[in-house]
Chain A
Amino acid sequence: MIKTLADWLVFTTIGLVPGSRAGEALDFFIYDTLKIFLLLTTIIYVVANIRTSFPPEKTKRMLSHKREYAGNVLAALLGIVTPFCSCSAVPLFIGFVESGVPLGVTFSFLISSPMVNEVALIMLWGLFGWRIALIYIGTGLLVAIVAGIVIGKLRMERYVQDYVWEMQVGKAEIVKQTFREKLGYARAYTLGLLQKIWPYVVAGVGLGAFIHGYAPQDFLVRYAGRDNLFAVPLAVLIGVPLYSNAAGVIPIVQALMEKGLPIGTCLAFMMAITALSLPEAIILKNVLKNRLLAVFFGIVATAIVCVGYLFNALL
């Protein structure tokens, strides 16, 4: 139905010729944008309602004094539903560590939260289908769990900034919300998130549409195909300093995949952009000493590279 609407707009109303480059690119752009915004609005609203039941204070209590392994798995899963914004990373980190959440478990949460979320799920589902969406979620959780376990095993507690351990944290008071307040919160959250990510979506889909219409078909196969062993680490190296959310990256990645970039390389690129970024490093510098910060980036980047190789080999 959306496809018919996009076709009608581009080919009948604007009068571009079906099959022409400009026509196909614009058709693709309108179709994808409409579809994604429709999906985003519905699903973010549903997830926002679920989220009202998982304030970070509650997540913290569920994770405090949890053991390794089980704790890491739970933390990665809770990362999906607990609302997280990179500007809250510092109070969140201190709150977790202070209340006895093990360091490795805290990291599992910090890695999974920005990387695996409803926005990524919707975008992948809408653009790639449910199979790849599930693969991304599954491997994203795996990266978060494994990296958290490794950081826990390395016993790096002394590389957390000293003041964190001395901090007096007040008793978290959870503000109880009525059902109506929760609905109001979900609505405000959905509108707020849409407002924040719409430019990324439009820019991402626009760039994707351009690649779709104009880049030569085998352009990437030649340079970054399956045979090039350096493609995956290179994708991760390019992805880490870039800062964008899933909404902006996924449409671009879809276009790249169409032009022959293998799935593993695509997944790795996406994960590197969403899980690791320079602004995040600057924020986390407040609570982590350089060595732990470097170890964190190193382990997560390595795990992502492994995911890339694995999927290039499997699919």
Chain B
Amino acid sequence: MKIEVLGTGCSKCKTLYENTRKALEESGKTAELVKVEDIPSIMKYGVMGTPALVVDGRVVFSGKTASVAEIMGVI
């Protein structure tokens, strides 16, 4: 599984990254977790609100800081 956190580096994006890390830890799943900060790559997903969460190439959340529980529901 590959998880990408899209965001230009604001505090919300950092929170989403942290929440995702915790969700992975709690669920015991392993995945490649990357932070995508450059604009062209973010735009490739057609996302208009950051932060956004992409799981295996599919946008699951955009424009919100999802909670740990919410992220556990989609990974």
With beta carbons under 8 angstroms apart, the residue of B7, B10, B46, B60 that contacts A170 is B46
B44 contacts the other chain (CB 8 A): yes
Which of A60, A169, A188 has most B Cβ within 10 Å?
A169
Q: Is the interface of A mostly helix, strand, loop or mixed?
A: helix
- For A228, list chain B residues within 8 Å (CB): none
With contacts A56-B48, A57-B48 taken as known, whether A163 is within 8 angstroms of B63 at the C-beta atoms is: no
22 contacts between A and B (CB under 8 A): A55-B49, A56-B48, A83-B49, A85-B49, A87-B7, A87-B12, A88-B48, A88-B49, A88-B50, A91-B48, A92-B48, A92-B49, A95-B46, A95-B48, A167-B40, A169-B43, A169-B44, A170-B46, A171-B46, A188-B64, A188-B67, A192-B65
Interface size on B, residues (CB 8 A): 26
- For A189, list chain B residues within 8 Å (CB): 64
- For B40, list chain A residues within 8 Å (CB): 163, 167-168
Q: Is B49 a contact partner of A172 (Cβ separation < 8 A)?
A: no
With contacts A94-B39, A170-B46, A171-B46 taken as known, whether A87 is within 8 angstroms of B61 at the C-beta atoms is: no
Within 8 A of B (CB), among A158-188: 163, 167-173, 175, 184-185, 188
The CA-CA distance from A87 to B15 in the complex, in Å, is 14
The CA-CA distance from A168 to B13 in the complex, in Å, is 23
Q: Is B8 a contact partner of A90 (Cβ separation < 8 A)?
A: yes
With contacts A56-B49, A87-B50 taken as known, whether A95 is within 8 angstroms of B43 at the C-beta atoms is: yes
